[in-house]
């Protein structure tokens, strides 16, 4: 087989991206030995079959050059520029909307949060670095080490942190702001996808490991407590599970995988609650009541205070002009007009209901324009994820898109006053949120950039037996 191996080595030597060499060699071996076996079946001797196989493939230098043009990184310039533009727009809008108003209605520019613009620049830099320098295959290679490191890092920061806002724990990072359960969930999703990737073909053992690996992430978000992060992470895990069952990832049969997944979901939801009941005992009902206050809006002075203010803001909006400042609120909220609600809650509105604040100050048209831009950016990311063929890249991309899409949808529902639980708007996060979002979006685009390099061969190479 010396002639065939020599041809393969010469062709592979033409590849400038050395990461693509193993996959290309595997593909060439599969194709050449298939052709070699075909010549043997036609009655050719081993030497003659080798010669004809090599001649049918042509010049190895030219063939290798053609393969080099195919198997090289392809930067996702379109989605990258769109993501960078949306991050920049989000940073500018958050900075501008966060500028306080003087008594006469003028903007106090010198009191604006210039840190927001600086963090926006850092986010775009992180997006570029991860996109062009990160190798998504490192996640699969070091999946368990990164998984454990992220759990320890986030667990110590969030659970031991002394920053508690509205009953939720945060980790106060110097200069950058608050690291929340949302940030952890967004980082945890692609890492968990890499853990799932490592269980390929491992049967029931791999299936059980994937289910168990999701529980610590759910527990950390539940203890924070951040119920929306728990829901989003659970949905992301479910989407990855359905994707694996569809492709028979664990090699136990598609039907068996799907049935096991359906039986596992209720158990995975029950386990965190049982552990919390064991740890907190009588304090658990109070914790759950605090997390589920979003569904209890019958108290006008409680959760309904915020929801009523948001809904009245939308009622008083105009398409191309500021909202009606004299619009009255509910008598039981303690504030008389929407203008007072917006003035006292501007910082919270900027963080949790940016479209509502933008529509109130400029007009509903601009709020819906921003929402349309974000939706377009997410659709472009989904389109990019759908084009990724490598298994590790596809799993990471789907996990990131699922969590970002769900978070954005819940954020918009909250901005319309349909629920009072905070979430994360894609491309428009706070300081730490923007950096984390930029990192995971860059990871998605990196998977697309290296897709032609990392995708698995369609079949294992079939070697012919050595001929005497």
DSSP 46-102: HHHHHHHHHHHH--HHHHHHHHHHHSS----HHHHHHHHHHHHHHHHHHHHHTSPB-
Question: What was the pLDDT predicted at 194?
Answer: 93
CA contacts within 13 A on the Cβ side of 368: 8
C-alpha distances (whole Å) from 168 to each of 70, 163, 165, 233, 429 are 50, 8, 5, 17, 18
C-alpha distances (whole Å) from 423 to each of 151, 237, 350, 373, 428 are 21, 18, 12, 18, 11
Same domain as 426, residue 325: yes
Classify residue 20 by its DSSP letter.
G
Pick from 184, 166, 102: nearest CA to 348: 166
Pick from 26, 104, 105, 28: nearest CA to 64: 28
Pick from 117, 119, 124: nearest CA to 87: 124
Pick from 143, 158, 135: nearest CA to 191: 143
Same domain as 424, residue 386: yes
Instruction: Enter the tokens of residue 194.
Output: 């890499």
Same domain as 100, residue 192: no
CB-neighbour burial class of residue 96 (10 A; exposed 0-12, middle 13-18, buried 19+): middle
Alpha helices in 354-450 (DSSP H): 354-362, 364-386, 391-415, 431-449
Identify the domain boundary among 70, 98, 114. 70
Assigned domain for 382 exists: yes
**pLDDT tens sequence for the chain (468 residues):** 677 777 777 777 766 666 666 667 777 777 788 888 887 888 888 888 888 887 787 777 777 677 666 666 677 788 889 899 999 988 888 877 766 555 455 555 555 566 778 888 899 999 999 988 888 878 888 999 999 999 998 888 887 776 777 667 777 777 667 788 888 999 999 999 999 999 988 889 999 999 889 988 988 887 777 878 888 999 999 999 999 888 888 888 888 888 888 888 777 777 666 666 665 555 555 555 544 444 333 444 444 567 777 777 887 888 888 877 666 665 544 556 777 777 666 667 777 788 888 888 888 899 899 999 999 999 999 999 898 888 888 899 999 999 999 999 988 887 887 765 677 888 887 778 889 999 999 999 988 887 777 655 443 334 444 443
CA contacts within 13 A on the Cβ side of 81: 3
Instruction: Enter the tokens of residue 137.
Output: 């295959």
Same domain as 303, residue 252: no
For 77, other C-beta atoms within 10 Å of its C-beta total: 11
Same domain as 380, residue 323: yes
Identify the domain boundary among 32, 50, 70. 70
Assigned domain for 463 exists: no
Assigned domain for 149 exists: yes
Assigned domain for 454 exists: no
Decide if 194 contacts 143 (C-beta within 8 A). yes
Length of the chain: 468
Same domain as 223, residue 152: yes
Assigned domain for 376 exists: yes
Decide if 357 contacts 97 (C-beta within 8 A). yes
Cα separation, 225 vs 436, in Å, equals 20
Question: What was the pLDDT predicted at 169?
Answer: 77
Cα separation, 412 vs 408, in Å, equals 6
Same domain as 129, residue 65: no
Same domain as 227, residue 208: yes
Pick from 346, 328, 344, 325: nearest CA to 336: 328
Question: What was the pLDDT predicted at 397?
Answer: 92
Question: What was the pLDDT predicted at 442?
Answer: 92
> C-alpha angle 22/34/254, rounded to 5°?
75
Instruction: Enter the tokens of residue 265.
Output: 């979901």
Instruction: State the total domains in the chain.
Output: 3
Cα separation, 198 vs 10, in Å, equals 32
Looking at the DSSP bridge assignments, the partners of residue 378 are none
- Domain of 442 in residue numbering reads as 76-133+299-449
Same domain as 201, residue 124: no
Same domain as 228, residue 152: yes
CB-neighbour burial class of residue 214 (10 A; exposed 0-12, middle 13-18, buried 19+): buried
Bond preceding residue 225 cis, omega within 30 of 0 = yes
3-state secondary structure (DSSP) of residue 301 = coil
Identify the domain boundary among 267, 295, 323. 295
Question: What was the pLDDT predicted at 322?
Answer: 82
Same domain as 237, residue 259: yes
Assigned domain for 213 exists: yes
Question: What was the pLDDT predicted at 460?
Answer: 39
Bond preceding residue 448 cis, omega within 30 of 0 = no
pTM, 2 dp: 0.79
Assigned domain for 216 exists: yes
Same domain as 104, residue 9: no
Assigned domain for 462 exists: no
Decide if 181 contacts 291 (C-beta within 8 A). no
């Amino acid at each position: 087989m010396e002639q065939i191996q020599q041809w393969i080595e010469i062709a592979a030597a033409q590849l400038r991206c050395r990461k693509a060499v193993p996959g290309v060699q595997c593909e060439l071996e599969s194709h050449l030995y298939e052709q070699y076996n075909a010549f043997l079946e036609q009655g050719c001797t081993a030497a003659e079959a080798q010669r004809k196989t090599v001649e049918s493939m042509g010049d190895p230098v030219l063939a290798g050059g053609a393969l080099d043009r195919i198997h090289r990184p392809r930067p996702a310039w379109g989605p990258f520029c769109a993501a960078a533009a949306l991050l920049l727009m989000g940073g500018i809008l958050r900075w501008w909307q966060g500028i306080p108003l003087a008594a006469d209605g003028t903007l106090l520019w010198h009191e604006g949060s210039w840190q927001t613009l600086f963090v926006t620049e850092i986010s775009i830099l992180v997006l570029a670095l991860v996109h062009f320098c990160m190798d998504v295959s490192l996640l699969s290679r070091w999946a368990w080490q990164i998984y454990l490191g992220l759990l320890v890092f986030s667990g110590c920061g969030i659970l031991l942190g002394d920053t508690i806002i509205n009953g939720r724990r945060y980790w106060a990072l110097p200069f950058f702001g608050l690291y929340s359960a949302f940030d952890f969930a967004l980082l945890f999703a692609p890492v968990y996808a890499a853990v799932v990737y490592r269980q390929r073909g491992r049967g029931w053992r791999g299936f059980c490991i994937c289910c168990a690996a999701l529980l610590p992430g759910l527990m950390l978000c539940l203890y924070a407590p951040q119920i929306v992060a728990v829901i989003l992470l659970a949905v992301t895990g479910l989407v990855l599970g359905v994707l694996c069952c569809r492709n028979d990832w664990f090699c136990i049969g598609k039907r068996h995988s799907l049935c096991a997944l359906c039986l596992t979901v209720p158990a995975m939801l029950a386990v965190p609650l049982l552990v919390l009941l064991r740890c907190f005992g009588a304090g658990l009902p109070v914790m759950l009541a605090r997390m589920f206050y979003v569904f209890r809006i019958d108290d006008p002075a409680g959760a309904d205070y915020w929801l009523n203010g948001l809904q009245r803001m939308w009622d008083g909006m105009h398409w191309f002009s500021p909202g009606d400042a004299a619009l009255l609120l509910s008598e039981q909220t303690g504030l008389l007009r929407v203008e007072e609600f917006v003035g006292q809650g501007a910082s919270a509105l900027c963080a949790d209901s940016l479209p509502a604040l933008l529509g109130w100050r400029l007009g509903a048209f601009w709020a819906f324009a921003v929402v349309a831009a974000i939706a377009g950016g997410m659709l472009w990311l989904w389109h990019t994820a759908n084009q990724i063929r490598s298994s590790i890249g596809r799993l990471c991309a789907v996990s990131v898109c699922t969590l970002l899409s769900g978070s954005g949808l819940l954020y918009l529902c909250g901005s319309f006053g349909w629920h009072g639980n905070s979430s994360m708007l894609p491309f428009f996060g706070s300081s730490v949120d923007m950096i984390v979002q930029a990192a995971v979006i860059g990871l998605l685009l990196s998977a697309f950039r290296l897709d032609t390099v990392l995708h698995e061969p369609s079949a294992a190479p079939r070697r012919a037996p050595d001929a005497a």
